[in-house]
């Protein structure tokens, strides 16, 4: 029997991207993004009538560094374990 394990290391709920920067559903997600990209705090934007949260104290500070920011990518790690002992 094969066992398949899939691990999602960090999935954040992104509402949209504004100027290449993710806009999140929660303040904590925005703060986490800010922290991992060398910023602190958060600011808000309204997108399609919904308030979203973006990392960094101001939008202008973050977009000034847009070329040096890593891409917002979800990492998926998978492994396959075969416990059958061989054969078919």
Q: Note whether 27 and 42 are within 8 A (CB).
A: yes
Residue 77 has pLDDT above 50, yes or no: no
Residue 6 has pLDDT above 90, yes or no: no
Residue 33 has pLDDT above 60, yes or no: yes
Tell me the pLDDT tens digit for each residue of 8-17: 445 568 999 9
Cα–Cα dist 43/17, whole Å: 14
Q: E-assigned strands of the chain?
A: 2-8, 14-18, 21-24, 42-47, 50-55, 76-82
Residue 76 has pLDDT above 50, yes or no: no
Cα–Cα dist 55/51, whole Å: 14
Task: Name the band, by pLDDT with cuts 50, 70 and 90, for residue 79.
Answer: very low
């Amino acid at each position: 029997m094969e066992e398949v394990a899939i691990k999602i290391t960090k999935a954040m709920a992104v509402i949209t991207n504004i100027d290449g920067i993710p806009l999140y559903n929660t303040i904590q997600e925005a703060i986490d993004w800010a922290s991992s990209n060398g910023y602190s705090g958060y600011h808000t934007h309204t997108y399609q009538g919904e308030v979203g949260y973006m990392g960094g104290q101001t939008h202008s500070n973050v977009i000034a560094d847009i070329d040096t920011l890593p891409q917002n990518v979800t990492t998926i790690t998978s492994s396959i374990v075969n416990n059958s002992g061989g054969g078919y």
